Amino acid sequence: MQKLEPRSRKVKVLATIGPASRSPEMLAKLLKAGADSFRVNMSHGAHEDHAATIKAIRELEKSSGRPIAILADLQGPKLRVGCFKDGQAVIRHSGHFTLDRNPAPGDETRVELPHPELFAVLQKGQRLLINDGKIRLKVIKAEADSILCSVEVGGVISDRKGVNVPDAEVPIPALTEKDRKDLAFAVGQGVDWIGLSFVQRPEDLAEARKLMGGYGALCAKIEKPSAVRRLPELLELADGIMVARGDLGVELEPWEVPPLQKKIVNAARGAGKPVIVATQMLESMIESPSPTRAEVSDVANAVYDGADAVMLSAETAAGEWPEEAVTIMDRIATQVERDDAYLERVRLLDTPPDRTTADALSHACMTIADTVAVSGIIVFTGSGSTARRVARERPSVPMLVLTPSVKTARRVGLLWGAHAVATKDIGSFEEMIAKGKRMALRHGFGVAGSKLIALAGVPFGTPGSTNLLHVVTLTGDELSRHKD
């Protein structure tokens, strides 16, 4: 594949890979169309298929000359009802229905709930949502072996349908045995991000991080009301956040989700953690080559909110128009960022710097970029933390992230405004300036006469030492003078 130039767009596009898109040819088309990073959904497919997909992405990374972030999304615990005599039953609206611990096949009056931990936490008045909320029950009486419910919304219920419990914190771990195996596989494959599903409490993240053994970054998927209630604690432990609106919209009323989306995005940005808005963004494009106007507005609003990335799910994993879905997502985000009001909108959130030198300098980058005609910000970083600080400020110019770590270069693939390059480390101020100019010219961050901001830490190679800001001017002959 031909080398890709840096994108002018700052918001990232995360595309889910599945049967419709896992071929090397389609992956190349998606990257060219605008995908910046790829999601591997561990809920579907065998490890052999995922290994082949990851290998193909790494080959594409080499041929395109661009570090690519891979997020492995764990399935998480799934609560399900048991089975029915005839495979399904019809629950009568306004009637009664019982969930119990009897393994016998169910009927229109009862069915097994094979999760004993639920019987200890459910209380009168709490809701149970079955089959993505199509069946809605309310607890009348909860006992040790049965839960009697009133049927608020009835209908057809079939074998093994999922159960959501929005009003209680369910005492089950976020990692199932399958998740543990999938996590070990993903770490072994060298993925860059792990997505943890159905997070409820900080302990869920602590357990996952322990199993990751210091490898990769951890993304907490916010899809339960209990996670929203403990969002500040989760932000402390997570490296990034995903607003998983599909399940969040099942457990909450639909009109509650938009303000929560904004709240979660703002909280993540305030903490300097990348935030992804996900699920049902261009849902109609699973079958149609064009989206609805409402879907376009939905994606645009996520971009205006200041999300770091917007995600495509089934649209690219199993849909009939994966390349077109990425193209549309790219065009929406690009058009929004061309709006004169865009930068003002994303800066409505006040992100005051912490009382550290690194934060003060990152904030200064934004101010200088607004005051002086600069074409970009060059960030030298080992771990990516300086790049996250700069991105939090939402500067008016793109960011060239130079790092000696390939892992860091890939990981910032979900970070707003960042174009990462893995390059040799620097050892002196003079080398920093020379390399910064050279890489800026090479990657299209300016031409002769352009000014750029360089941000780094001295002594070089010391984590957390960001203490140097320098404005440089490109002369245009750096490429001929130096080689990497």
Mean pLDDT of 412-417: 97
- For residue 195, report the phi and psi dihedrals to the nearest 5 degrees: -95, 120
3-state secondary structure the chain: CCCCCCCCCCCEEEEEECCCCCCHHHHHHHHHHCCCEEEEECCCCCHHHHHHHHHHHHHHHHHHCCCCEEEEECCCCCCECCCECCCEEEECCCCEEEEECCCCCECCCEEECCCHHHHCCCCCCCEEEECCCCEEEEEEEECCCEEEEEEEECEEEECCCEEECCCCCCCCCCCCHHHHHHHHHHHHHCCCEEEECCCCCHHHHHHHHHHHCCCCEEEEEECCHHHHHCHHHHHHHCCEEEEEHHHHHHHCCHHHHHHHHHHHHHHHHHCCCCEEEECCCCHHHHCCCCCCHHHHHHHHHHHHHCCCEEEECHHHHCCCCHHHHHHHHHHHHHHHHHCCCHHHHHCCCCCCCCCCHHHHHHHHHHHHHHHCCEEEEEEECCCCHHHHHHHHCCCCCCEEEEECCHHHHHHHHHCCCEEEEECCCCCCHHHHHHHHHHHHHHCCCCCCCCEEEEEEECCCCCCCCEEEEEEEECCCCHHHHCCC
Q: Is the pLDDT of residue 478 over 80?
A: no
Q: How far apart are CA 363 and CA 395, in angstroms?
A: 9
Percentage of the chain lying above the pLDDT 70 cut: 98
Q: Is 80 part of the annotated catalytic residue set? A: yes
The token duo for 10 is 């700052």
Q: Is 221 part of the annotated catalytic residue set? A: yes
Domain regions of the chain by residue span: 12-76+174-339, 88-164, 357-481
Q: From the candidates 279, 327, 381, 403, give the one annotated as an active-site residue.
A: 279
Q: Are strands 155-158 and 88-91 parallel, antiparallel or unpaired?
A: antiparallel
Q: Is the pLDDT of residue 394 over 60?
A: yes
Q: How far apart are CA 307 and CA 5, in angstroms?
A: 23
The per-residue pLDDT for range 26-75, each reduced to its tens digit, is 999 999 999 999 999 999 999 999 999 999 999 999 999 999 999 999 99
The per-residue pLDDT for range 343-370, each reduced to its tens digit, is 999 999 888 888 899 999 999 999 999 9
Q: Is 16 part of the annotated catalytic residue set? A: no
What's residue 479's pLDDT? 59
CATH 2.40.33.10 fits 88-164, yes or no: yes
Q: Is the pTM of this model over 0.85?
A: yes
What's residue 427's pLDDT? 83
Q: How far apart are CA 362 and CA 307, in angstroms?
A: 19
Give residue 483's pLDDT band: very low, low, confident or very high (50, 70, 90).
Answer: low
Q: From the candidates 12, 22, 39, 389, give the one annotated as an active-site residue.
A: 39
The per-residue pLDDT for range 148-165, each reduced to its tens digit, is 999 999 999 999 999 999
Mean pLDDT of 215-242: 96
Give residue 466's pLDDT band: very low, low, confident or very high (50, 70, 90).
Answer: confident
Mean pLDDT estimate for the chain: 94
The per-residue pLDDT for range 202-226, each reduced to its tens digit, is 999 999 999 999 999 999 999 999 9
Q: From the candidates 110, 221, 245, 437, give the one annotated as an active-site residue.
A: 221
Mean pLDDT of 115-137: 94
The token duo for 387 is 């790049």
CATH 3.40.1380.20 fits 357-481, yes or no: yes
Alpha carbons within 13 angstroms on the beta-carbon side of residue 411 total: 27
Q: How far apart are CA 403 and CA 410, in angstroms?
A: 10
Task: Quickly count: other Cβ atoms within 10 Å of residue 117's Cβ.
Answer: 11
Q: Is 39 part of the annotated catalytic residue set? A: yes
418-422: strand order across its sheet: 418-422, 399-403, 374-380, 451-457, 466-473
CATH 3.20.20.60 fits 12-76+174-339, yes or no: yes
The per-residue pLDDT for range 11-23, each reduced to its tens digit, is 999 999 999 999 9
